Amino acid sequence: MSKPDLNLLFTLQALLEEGSVAKAARRLHLSASAMSRALARLRQTTGDPLLVRAGRGLVASPRAIELSGQITQLVQSAETALRPASRLDPKKLQRLFSLRTSEGFVENFGPALIARISKEAPGVKLCFVPKPDKDSASLRKGAVDLETGVVSEEIGPEIRTQALFKDRLIGVVRTGHALSRGKISATRFAAGRHIAVSRNGDTKGPVDDAVHALGLRRDVVMIVGGFATAVSLAKASDMIATVPEKHTGVLRSGMHSFRLPFSTAPFTVSMLWHPRSDADPGHRWLRECVRDVCSEQAR
């Protein structure tokens, strides 16, 4: 039995990540015909079509999806083994890192993160970009270096994740609001006028499910796309915002916050990155900074 051509591992990774023969060819500096021949060899070797035509593009077969994680680890291990060992000196690092985060992250964790980075690596700059969705395309394409959020099914199978902190939903109202006095029952809570937070305009969420289970219904009068907007509106009105506790600590300053009078599931906020950055010394250092700052600030 002949030995497999290990170069095909890099070819398969490029094809799976790009979803296009032409794009994979450009990425590996090959001609389109050479990449097509390589795909044919991969199909013959694995006994699977791997990528099949869907409209104008290609989609991965179930076998290709199954192989994706293994291929990524193998390629990364090979790249790590062949890369010269080096120790990072953060003080000499000159780099711009892009982080995609939800509203509230920068306000709550940004100052401490910048303080640490300025002390350890004065040549490093951070660029925070908004997170309008949970799609991991930005990480795959290299448009951002790191992302924070709740891991969902929309995240690609190859994306690496690490938990940062656990959070829970709480209610927040302006100082002097009726709910800032006395015991807050589920009935009192549901009777108020509510602000819902949803990137895609959904009118129902976990809070509505919990209220409905008690035979109640809350009156959602406004839907906004982020936590900062919800808190700001609640501060200037008699509306009630329901937001993550640790994610909005700074945003809620000067307001009345309270535990919800019913149970909702806690959730974990994680950082996410693409495997291509896993072994990069600068990226590893950045992940360590983010992890430590979030651990300290979220206590």
Q: What is the pLDDT of residue 1?
A: 46
* pLDDT per residue as tens digits for the range 138-147: 888 889 999 9
CA separation, residue 20 to residues 46, 50, 188, 199, 262 (Å): 19, 12, 55, 30, 49
Rounded to whole angstroms, how far apart are CA atoms 140 and 138?
6
As a whole number of angstroms, the distance between CA 163 and CA 57 comes to: 34
**CATH at residue 259:** 3.40.190.10
C-alpha of 268 from chain center: 11
Q: What does the pLDDT look like over 97-136, one tens digit per residue? A: 999 998 788 989 999 999 999 999 999 999 999 887 778 8
- Looking at 82, 98, 125, the residue that finishes a domain is 82
Extract the tokens encoding 164.
């940062």
Residue 2 lies in a domain: no
Tell me, yes or no, whether 274 lies in a domain. no
pLDDT for 288 equals: 96
Examine the domain organization and report whether 64 and 207 are in the same domain: no
Q: Two tokens at 223?
A: 């839907």
Cα distance between residue 10 and residue 131, in whole Å: 30
Side-chain-facing half-sphere of 89: CA atoms under 13 Å: 2
The domain that holds 12 is classified in CATH as 1.10.10.10
Q: Which domain, by its residues, includes 98?
A: 90-147+279-297
| pTM, two decimal places | 0.68
What pLDDT was estimated at residue 96? 96
- pLDDT (tens digit per residue) in 27-75: 888 898 998 898 898 888 888 888 888 777 788 888 888 887 788 788 7
Q: Kindly report, residue by residue over 170-226, the tens digit of the pLDDT.
A: 999 999 999 999 999 999 999 999 999 988 878 788 999 999 999 999 999 999 988
17 and 58 housed in the same domain: yes
For residues 189 and 261, membership in a common domain is answered with yes
Number of domains in the chain: 3
